Amino acid sequence: MPVVRVHMSRNLLSVEPGEKITEVAERMVQRNLGAVLVLDGARLVGIMTERDIMRAVARGLHADALVGDYMTSNPETIEPDDTTQHAAVLMIHGGFRHLPVIERGEVVGILSIRDLMRVTLEDSAPRGV
């Protein structure tokens, strides 16, 4: 069974709760990311996703809106040695598409639903001829 460590992204963008959403959204677009991790020092306190930004816009986002006011606080997490199947179950039942990966209390990666699709496609590809 594939483990999260093999398929997670280590190319992380982290922000602080006091940063402006508009500036964070610009960085997300520049790096083509659907989510950023929100850290207070080294501690994960939230995640800001495209969906969170859409909710902020729908509520009348103002130019000074802060990440901490609209982020998903205390997100579900997974460990690097957990299986990708366990990650998929968490995502499906939780209704989210990004899962921070935590090892010994530190953020070491993020796993997306797109990463899990790659695992599925690798497993279903024909083998040998």
The answer, as to whether pTM is greater than 0.75, is yes
pLDDT at residue 23 in the model: 96
pLDDT at residue 110 in the model: 97
User: Does the residue 78 lie in any domain?
Assistant: yes
User: Does the residue 129 lie in any domain?
Assistant: no
Give me the domain span that covers residue 99.
4-124
pLDDT at residue 105 in the model: 92
In this structure, what CATH number is given to the domain that contains residue 8?
3.10.580.10
The total of structural domains in the chain comes to 1
Series of mean pLDDT values for 10-residue runs along the chain (129 residues)? 93 96 96 96 96 95 94 97 96 96 96 91 64
pLDDT at residue 55 in the model: 94
pLDDT at residue 107 in the model: 96
Instruction: Please report which helix (H) or strand (E) contains residue 83, including its range.
Output: none
pLDDT at residue 125 in the model: 58
